[in-house]
């Protein structure tokens, strides 16, 4: 089945055209700076990359360009059998992917205050696709859906019940589509050897998830993606009273604190040089003490959260590293394993050095749990959901 996967942001739109039978990515690209000056589209097909400087005043124009680019590249638009939309926040409505109807679209907008920079744009793009191409079915794939049915002891916050109920406050998590794909592929590879898996999606945004027999038992992101692990520019878990202190004593506004904790903190703030772990690793190797401490904190926190996720399953048999840092940083994987050595986790040095697009085991034969590197593929997971819902 030919599926177009769309991931819309407030000023961007990424797309991939996939074949769910062969898993081939026929074309992909990104529309950047939508509604901003100097907008452009980057496109790739058959190994060839191109860039077009075009005016993208809104998402509607961006969607039209995507279809025109695909058509110009020789792809039969009529052969696209479904469109899958990544939706960041499914809120209190969506426990699974669903075919788009007027009702589902309204719900995507209703829960948008939980992810205002994403959901509104995503809803707009869904509406645009339905309007421009009414014969093509659309499917929403919420990132939060995988965590929807996690145990209440893990998802509930200790706030007054009337407040929680009125404002739908709970741990929603994120990266659910990635974590679900990691379970799917790892279980396909490991079979009955894997029942209790800890998925470590570590990139600029990062979260861990405890997955027991395919079900999310707990995850590190909370009401929003600010919670959990230290990230590129996000604080991760922090005493909530810090907000009150900065407001009352520091004189910062709520918006300023929001910006600080989401865009000016994390690895960038700790290292004082960059939010990119590659830059930090390089500087640390050259003796930069701030960067050395940044990495120590990062590895410690990942290991600490692995132990936290393990508690939700009363143990674990598999750890998977994925996403930008998880897949590519040999040092991160090695140092996290050292932090977990007391639990019997051991990584094979040579296996850990291998760079590959294929899933691979990097632990030693006598490690207490199997450790793998599994490249994530959220787009394929979305396309598979489209096939499941529309292909029949």
- The response to whether 324 counts as a known ligand-binding position is yes
Residues 93/103, Cβ–Cβ less than 8 Å: no
- The response to whether 276 counts as a known ligand-binding position is yes
Burial environment of residue 46 by CB neighbours within 10 A (0 to 12, 13 to 18, 19 or more): exposed
- Count of positions (residues) in the chain: 392
- The response to whether 278 counts as a known ligand-binding position is yes
- The response to whether 202 counts as a known ligand-binding position is yes
- The response to whether 280 counts as a known ligand-binding position is no
- The response to whether 14 counts as a known ligand-binding position is yes
Whether 143 is a known active-site residue: answer yes
- The response to whether 161 counts as a known ligand-binding position is no
From the list 143, 218, 227, 385, the catalytic residue is 143
- The response to whether 91 counts as a known ligand-binding position is no
- The response to whether 339 counts as a known ligand-binding position is no
- The response to whether 325 counts as a known ligand-binding position is yes
- The response to whether 34 counts as a known ligand-binding position is no
- The response to whether 327 counts as a known ligand-binding position is yes
- The response to whether 86 counts as a known ligand-binding position is yes
- The response to whether 355 counts as a known ligand-binding position is no
- The response to whether 365 counts as a known ligand-binding position is no
Catalytic machinery residues:
143
Instruction: Pick out the residues of the known binding site.
Output: 7, 14, 86, 201-205, 276-278, 324-328, 378
Residue numbers in the known binding site for ATP are 14, 201-205, 276-278, 324-328
Binding site members for Mg(2+) = 7, 378
């Amino acid at each position: 089945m030919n599926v177009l996967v769309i991931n819309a942001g407030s000023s961007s739109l990424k797309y991939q055209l996939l074949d769910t039978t062969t898993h081939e990515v026929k074309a992909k690209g990104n529309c950047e700076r939508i509604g901003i000056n100097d907008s452009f589209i980057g496109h790739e097909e058959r190994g060839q990359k191109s860039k077009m400087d075009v005016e993208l005043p809104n998402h509607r124009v961006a969607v039209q360009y995507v279809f025109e680019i695909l058509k110009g590249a020789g792809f039969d638009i009529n052969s696209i059998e479904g469109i899958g939309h990544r939706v960041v926040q499914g809120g209190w409505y969506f426990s699974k992917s669903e075919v788009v109807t007027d009702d589902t679209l309204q719900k995507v907008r209703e829960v948008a205050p939980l992810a205002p920079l994403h959901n509104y744009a995503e809803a707009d793009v869904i509406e645009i696709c339905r309007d421009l191409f009414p014969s093509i079915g659309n499917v929403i794939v919420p990132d939060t859906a995988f965590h929807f049915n996690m145990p209440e002891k893990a998802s509930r916050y200790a706030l007054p019940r009337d407040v929680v109920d009125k404002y739908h406050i709970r741990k929603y998590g994120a990266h659910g589509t990635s974590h679900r794909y990691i379970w799917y592929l790892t279980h396909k590879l490991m079979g009955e050897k894997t029942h209790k898996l800890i998925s470590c999606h570590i990139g600029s945004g990062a979260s861990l998830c405890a997955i027991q027999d395919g079900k999310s038992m707990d995850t590190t992101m909370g009401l929003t993606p600010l919670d959990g692990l230290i990230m590129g520019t996000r604080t991760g878990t922090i005493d909530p009273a810090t907000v009150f202190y900065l407001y009352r004593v520091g004189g910062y506004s709520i918006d300023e604190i929001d910006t600080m904790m989401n865009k000016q903190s994390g690895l960038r703030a700790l290292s004082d040089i960059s939010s990119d772990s590659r830059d930090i690793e390089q500087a640390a190797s050259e003796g930069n003490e701030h960067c050395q401490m940044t990495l120590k904190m990062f590895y410690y926190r990942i290991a600490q959260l692995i132990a936290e996720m393990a508690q939700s399953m009363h143990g674990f048999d598999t750890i998977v590293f994925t996403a930008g840092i998880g897949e590519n940083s040999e040092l991160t994987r090695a140092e996290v394993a050292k932090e977990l050595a007391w639990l019997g986790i051991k990584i094979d040095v040579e296996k850990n050095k291998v760079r590959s697009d294929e899933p691979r085991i990097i632990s030693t034969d006598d490690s207490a749990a199997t450790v793998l590197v599994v490249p994530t593929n959220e787009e394929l997971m979305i396309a598979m959901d489209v096939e499941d819902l529309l292909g029949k």
